[in-house]
Amino acid sequence: MSGDQLLTTAEVAHRLRIKPETIYAYVSRGVLDRVKVPGERISRFRLADVERLASRTQATRPERDVAPAMRTATTLIAYGRLHYRGLDAAKLAPVTPFEEVANWLWTGERRRDAFVASAETRDRAGQAGDHLPAQARPFDRLPVIVAVAAATDPLRFDLAPATVTALAPALLSTMVDALPLVGGTPPDDGLATRLWSRLTGTPASADGVRALNAALVLLADHDLAASTIAVRVAASTRANPYAAVLAGLGALDGPMHGAVGSSVYRFIEAALRDGASAAIAEWLRTGGLPGFGHSLYPEGDPRGAALLDLVARLPVGGDLRRTVDDLVTTAARRGALPNVDFAVAALAHVTGMGPGAAEVIFAVARTAGWIAHVIEEYAQPNNRFRWSSGYTGPTPAPA
């Protein structure tokens, strides 16, 4: 049993898309076995048993009412940790280049290739973004950049895995290099370094770029988040990879998903001005505490902890350091722990990035995971997702 991967009740409920009460019913009927771990008061369940139950219950559901399950070999959230093809993302983040992690997600091979795009594609995409109004967010440029990259790629309709894997590095490179420079021209030694110069005028440091690279690694994928579902549904219609990424960017732009980063940035900004307790009180009054808590990590988001550890090593002004520490300490008294959104916003403050930086970091990083899911979805039957509408409107008149 020591080699079995074990899940908590909450993790089983998430994977089976059911309520915890249903799990208890499965246990009482002998459908699912509970595992007692010495020294723990909670029950756990074998991952293999849960997967077998998932495949059986999915097969017995009426196809017209429930769409086929989205299975993935890319990412697993289990035991309070995030894993990319079996490797712990939080352990990869401080020591592994983003390019290597992206290749691991796409191919299952660990190699660091240079991510480059043609000068023509980069220049055209950058010029297209320059036509946006002055008040446009940095994130607003990304859909334009992806659309231009698609239009310049004559092989975009070739959906073979090798072709999709081959275009992905150039797409990510274009998404970064077509953004306007804020700092000086960086040496071409990695995507994180080049992204740094697009987000801040602060000179790049080894520790700063390391933290930014870690943020990219930690945000590269997160199982079937809303934007990833949008990507897979688009890919199921055999939309080309660029179009599928555009679907993901649309979902990511929601304030309850990737766009939450600017809210967390403003939250830290308010705490710097008014104090941590006052900022927390005000944000709670208006509906929530951005950057704290995560339903999949009840004991704390390991991504946030890993990135905050790297941010703490950067030169930080006394007021900002105290503010970040006070926010974490004060929120902890309410049982709220910092998540990766808080850590990315803290990184943005410490490195002189603006409020829109977190959204760009999130989008660039998550594109790597989306490409992995696109490749998986192209291997499935096309147009396989069709949900029942649950119509609640007026009854039609008889014909």
The residues annotated with a catalytic role in the active site are 294, 341
Ordered DSSP codes for 90-116? HHHTTTS-HHHHHHHHHHS--------
Q: How far apart are CA 90 and CA 370, in angstroms?
A: 19
Distance CA 21, CA 236 (A): 33
Confirm if 341 and 348 have CB atoms less than 8 A apart.
no
Token pair, residue 263, equals 């809210």
Contacts of residue 81, defined as CB under 8 A and 6 or more positions apart, other chains included, come to 88, 89, 90, 302
Nearest 10 degrees: CA dihedral of 11, 14, 20, 25?
Answer: -100
CA distances from 91 to 84, 85, 171, 218 (A): 11, 13, 26, 10
Residue whose structure tokens are 């700092």: 183
Q: Is 196 within 8 Å of 341 (Cβ atoms)? A: no
CA triple 72-357-239, angle to 5 deg: 40
Q: Measured between alpha carbons, how far is 106 from 303 in angstroms, rounded to an integer? A: 21
| Residue environment code for 146-165, b if the CB has 16+ CB neighbours within 10 A, otherwise e | bbbbbebbeebeebeeeebb
Q: Quick one: tokens of 384?
A: 């396989």
SS in 3 state form for 278-347? Answer: HHHHHHHHCCCCCCECCCCCCCCCHHHHHHHHHHCCCCCCHHHHHHHHHHHHHHHCCCCCECHHHHHHHH
Pull the structure tokens for residue 379: 């291997």
Q: Residues for the chain: how many in total?
A: 399
